[in-house]
Structure 1
Amino acid sequence: MIQFEVTVTVEGGLHARPAALLANHSAQSQSKITLTKGDKQVDGRSILGIMTLGVTQGDKLLISVEGEDEEKAALSLQQLFEQSFHR
């Protein structure tokens, strides 16, 4: 399992568009991806789940990736956050 923390730099936080991008990135992986903010934990493939976290700009998220392609998936997610969801 790989765990890492990210700071959300997207203006407006993880609203619909970035939540959809994050869920799509997560769905491309075979690994289980979990996002944690405070005491709330959601599946990284769920747009609705991501949005229910109420993540705003500046918030920190703990991302857990577990599975056969966890290294590749973790790197992809880290890059998504580093690029502030701009491809």
Structure 2
Amino acid sequence: MTTLAHRVFKIALFIGLFLISVRYIPLSNEWSTSETRAWFAASDLLGVRDPDDLYFAVWLTIELIAAVLAYVAIVKLWRWYRTKSLRL
């Protein structure tokens, strides 16, 4: 039962971190001329019809990476704290 609770807590922690990263790493609405050209070139190269779709996929990937890095850091800090407190 505790294993299930740990897994549920870890999943909730990751989802919470992902939602926080989505909230605080904003999606840019305005592109400069050079950025527009770059996104159109990248979407043509990858075969994506709309550059906004490609931009959203890249943005979502960055959000996932940020959430994973925060999750890994929290888990490592928690394990370090627990081993340190057990020695006392």
Q: TM-score, normalised by structure 1?
A: 0.30
Q: Larger C-alpha radius of gyration, 1 or 2?
A: 2
Higher helix proportion? 2
Higher strand proportion? 1
> Which structure is richer in relative contact order (CA contacts within 8 A, separation 6 or more)?
1
